[in-house]
């Protein structure tokens, strides 16, 4: 025969049952809630991983497209040669000037006449002036370059 403690007898008589059962029930509920939260978190993580993977795939396709476009542009420029029209040369030269980070912020005007290129504008120093002339001279189909770009005078005392 088992003897009940005074506290156990009080719970037994009050119909509350074993006090450990209530604690077990609470803990069991907390475990179930935590397991559900973990499952929701795992689903959210899996969805995020899929989104990241899709974004990486799109970025890779865009990178390959850019490489292909640059290759096609280089190929087209290579075919210009002597047969390049002034309009095409003008666009090639514009692109060269805009692609150069140092020249991108300058105001350089370009005129093309039968492959002869004239450059106009104003830059801050001689290096930029020479850089613009060199960039244009390297373009296929350019027969000559007249670099009329002015170098801005530096303020007195600078």
pLDDT band at 83 (very low <50, low <70, confident <90, very high): low
* The domain boundary residue, chosen from 42, 64, 81: 81
Angle at 146 between CA 145 and CA 150, to 5 degrees: 130
The CA distances from residue 36 to 9, 73, 79, in Å, are 37, 55, 65
Residue holding tokens 């096609």?
72
The pTM of this model reads 0.50
* The domain boundary residue, chosen from 81, 107, 124: 81
Average pLDDT value for residue range 101-113: 93
Tell me the per-residue pLDDT of 108-148, one tens digit each, with 9 for 90 and over.
Answer: 999 999 989 999 999 999 999 999 999 999 988 889 999 99
Q: Are residues 15 and 77 in the same domain?
A: yes
Q: Which residues of 30-62 are buried (b: 16+ CB within 10 A; e: fewer)?
A: eeeeeeeeeeeeeeeeeeeeeeeeeeeeeeeee
Domain count, the chain: 2
Output the pLDDT for position 141.
85
Task: Pick left, alpha or beta for residue 15 (phi over 0 → left; psi -120 to 50 → alpha; otherwise beta).
Answer: left
Q: Are residues 66 and 20 in the same domain?
A: yes
The C-alpha atoms of residue 3 and residue 149 are separated, in whole angstroms, by 109
Output the pLDDT for position 9.
47
Which of 29-38, 66-75, 131-140 is predicted least confidently? 66-75
């Amino acid at each position: 025969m088992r003897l009940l403690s005074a506290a156990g007898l009080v719970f037994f008589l009050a119909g509350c049952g074993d006090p450990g059962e209530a604690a077990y029930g609470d803990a069991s509920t907390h475990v179930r809630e935590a397991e559900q939260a973990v499952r929701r978190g795992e689903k959210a993580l899996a969805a995020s991983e899929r989104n990241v993977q899709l974004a990486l795939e799109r970025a890779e396709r865009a990178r390959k497209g850019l490489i292909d476009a640059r290759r096609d542009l280089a190929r087209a420029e290579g075919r210009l040669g002597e047969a390049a029209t002034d309009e095409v040369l003008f666009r090639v030269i514009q692109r060269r000037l805009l692609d150069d980070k140092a020249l991108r912020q300058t105001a350089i005007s370009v005129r093309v006449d039968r492959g002869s290129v004239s450059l106009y504008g104003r830059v801050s120093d001689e290096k930029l002036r020479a850089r613009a002339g060199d960039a244009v001279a390297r373009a296929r189909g350019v027969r000559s370059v007249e670099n009329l770009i002015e170098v801005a005078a530096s303020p007195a005392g600078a």
